[in-house]
Structure 1
Amino acid sequence: MSSPTPSLPSPMPRWRQYWVLTKPRVTQLAVFCAVIGMFLATPGMVPYPVLIGGIVGIWLLAGAAFAMNCLIEQAVDAKMKRTSWRPSATGEVTPFHITIFSIVLGSLGMIILWNFCNPLTMWLTVATFVGYAVIYTWLLKPATPQNIVIGGLSGAMPPALGWAAVTNTLSAEAWLLVLIIFVWTPPHFWALALYRRDDYVQSGLPMLPVTHGERFTLLNILLYTLILIAATLLPYIYGMSGMIYLISAIILGLMFLAYVVALFISYTDDLAKRTFRFSITYLSLLFAALLVDHYFI
């Protein structure tokens, strides 16, 4: 009696292949931060055309940038367990089709932002696209272990994009929000890079845990977390938020610091993974606290 032939996994539906290329979970967090920026920019309600146009336009351009990222890192992704399943890495979606997909998404996003928000928001979002897809992914990521620090500005821009969509300007408050995400990015990403370091060794990318080792990376995570906690106090010090936000920022900061200190004292891959996941929760709750404070004090 012959043994049954093992069933092969079902191929990913075509629509889902393209959806995956936009890195929807990362895009969702970016758009969430942009929406918070919109609401913080006005004492009242954001006009619905601006709100909807901003969400859709920023989402489309972010998705275009992530699709281009997948294209540029196609060969690298194929070497890494974490990313080898992506349609770009498996070849299920060709470079030509990824390029066309990215161009279409980006063009639609530009048109929507220009018409429903303002040219400043469109150009800032395009610059963010270029900063992430070209400067970070293509130039910095394969060149230096400080890639996530130097290239972090593009990933930190969403709240400024939201702010600009409403006000057609970039004030100091918008840049404070950018600063928070900019400082949050290294400890967030390096926690991931630590428990995925074998993947990065395989990929050949010079990530900090690969080039400088575990202890040095942990020290940098700790230092950046302390800087982050200080940076999150600036909205209160500057006067753009009140006690609800301040208390939330302190509590969330201490929780994040507890993860990082535990990681520094006794590293495990599991704890690094939990630290990485909490960092996402941390940022989401921090920005939610800004929103609650803005409307309820």
Structure 2
Amino acid sequence: MAKSISITPVSGLSRLPWRAYLEMTKPKVVALMLLTVLVGMCLALPGAVPLQPLIAGMAGIAMMAGAAAAMNHLIDRRIDGLMARTYNRPLPKGKVPVSHAATFAALLALIGFVCLYWLVNPLTAWLTLASLLGYAVVYTAYLKRATPQNIVIGGLAGAMPPLLGWTAVTNDFHGHGLLLVIIIFAWTPPHFWALAIHRKADYAKVDIPMLPVTHGVEFTKTCIFLYTVLLALACLLPVLVGMSGALYLLGSTLLSIGFIYKAWQLKYHETPGMAMDVFRFSIYHLMLLFILLLIDHYI
């Protein structure tokens, strides 16, 4: 009797609705994105970041990013239910009704936009809205199903966060902020194509024209390798314009060499699970790269 009582609350907690709504916002992805937002804020100013744009900017951008993720869940709910990676998401499993998911995404986007518009500045609010629409509508609803270059073109929306951080504290569309966008823009294809190789059968099953499905795995490996070289060049841009110094140059060079080596292994010496190794390495690469930018800025 005591045993059954102790188990029931735990299973009940695991089914709490808020967990499903939180999952729809892709919190891990948003957390990495917020790191790039923070770095964009810090690099935009020589001193400390003012408290109001820091807190309101991070909160508003996080809410709108979460709304974009929820819209992605909503639009992709049919194919998510057919793919091994995503079949257990809240909408395919019926944990959240479609109407509730749509309302949740709309409210989150609205609150985030109002927060940015009134507490930060209109420029950041409109740029963040453009990023949301670029990801949720242009990429998810159209490009993803239309072309194998989907992630290349659509990756621009996902590359915007550091620029959003920059504009949040300066109210200025500056070229140095765009350099940070270029880095993430170059990083996105090798990051996502590695995952697409691992999940090629899934994408083929639901007729999504990811590069490994339309052009083959070997061609995709070549593209990943070439993009890691392009990314290495993009990572040098902050040094070339004087945004960053020796510490960042050394650290980013080592990270670039590591990514290129991983891509070279995938292309010429692949072992089982190598594509996912490259995918995971790419996440740490971006995270450490932006931490280096931050540390270098204050040293």
**TM-score of the superposition, structure 1-length normalised?**
0.95
User: In percent, how many aligned pairs have the same letter?
Assistant: 50
Distance, in Å, in 1 between the alignment partners of 2:81 and 2:207 is 12
Q: Gaps (5+ residues) in structure 2?
A: 1-10
More displaced 10-residue stretch of structure 1: 267-276 or 216-225? 267-276
1:206 is aligned to 2:209: yes
Equivalent position amino acid for 1:122 in 2:
A
Cα RMSD after superposing both structures: 1.3
Task: Report the CA distance between 1:133 and its aligned residue.
Answer: 0.2
Distance, in Å, in 2 between the alignment partners of 1:210 and 1:12 is 36
After the TM superposition, which residues 113-132 of structure 1 pair with which residues of structure 2 at under 5 Å, given as runs? 113-132=116-135
> Which of 288, 292, 296 does residue 293 from structure 1 map onto?
296
Equivalent position amino acid for 1:71 in 2:
L
What is residue 76 of structure 2 aligned with on the other side? 73
1:15 is aligned to 2:5: no
> Which of 226, 229, 253 does residue 226 from structure 1 map onto?
229
Task: Report the CA distance between 1:199 and its aligned residue.
Answer: 1.2
What is residue 42 of structure 2 aligned with on the other side? 39
Equivalent position amino acid for 1:281 in 2:
Y
Q: How far does the alpha carbon of each residue in 1:231-255 deviate from its partner, in whole angstroms, 9 at most, with x for none? A: 1001101111111111111011001
1:107 is aligned to 2:110: yes
Q: Secondary structure at the match of 1:141?
A: helix
Q: Secondary structure at the match of 1:80?
A: coil
Equivalent position amino acid for 2:108 in 1:
L
Q: Secondary structure at the match of 1:280?
A: helix
More displaced 10-residue stretch of structure 1: 62-71 or 267-276? 267-276
Q: How far does the alpha carbon of each residue in 1:40-87 deviate from its partner, in whole angstroms, 9 at most, with x for none? A: 100111111111101110000000000001000010100101000001
Distance, in Å, in 1 between the alignment partners of 2:237 and 2:268 is 29
Question: Could you list the runs of 4 or more consecutive aligned residues of structure 1 that deviate by over 4 angstroms after TM superposition?
Answer: 8-11
What is residue 98 of structure 2 aligned with on the other side? 95
Task: Report the CA distance between 1:11 and its aligned residue.
Answer: 5.9
1:171 is aligned to 2:171: no
Task: Report the CA distance between 1:10 and its aligned residue.
Answer: 8.7
What is residue 253 of structure 1 aligned with on the other side? 256
Task: Report the CA distance between 1:196 and its aligned residue.
Answer: 1.0
Checking the alignment, whether the CA contact within 8 Å between 1:148 and 1:185 is kept in structure 2 is: yes
After the TM superposition, which residues 232-243 of structure 1 pair with which residues of structure 2 at under 5 Å, given as runs? 232-243=235-246
Task: Report the CA distance between 1:269 and its aligned residue.
Answer: 4.3
Checking the alignment, whether the CA contact within 8 Å between 1:194 and 1:269 is kept in structure 2 is: no
1:279 is aligned to 2:250: no
Q: Secondary structure at the match of 2:92?
A: helix
Aligned residues: 289
What is residue 188 of structure 1 aligned with on the other side? 191
What is residue 5 of structure 2 aligned with on the other side? none
Distance, in Å, in 2 between the alignment partners of 1:11 and 1:265 is 44
Task: Report the CA distance between 1:126 and its aligned residue.
Answer: 0.4
Checking the alignment, whether the CA contact within 8 Å between 1:195 and 1:269 is kept in structure 2 is: no
Q: Gaps (5+ residues) in structure 1?
A: 1-7
Task: Report the CA distance between 1:266 and its aligned residue.
Answer: 2.1
What is residue 62 of structure 1 aligned with on the other side? 65
**TM-score of the superposition, structure 2-length normalised?**
0.94
Q: Secondary structure at the match of 1:79?
A: coil
Q: Secondary structure at the match of 1:132?
A: helix
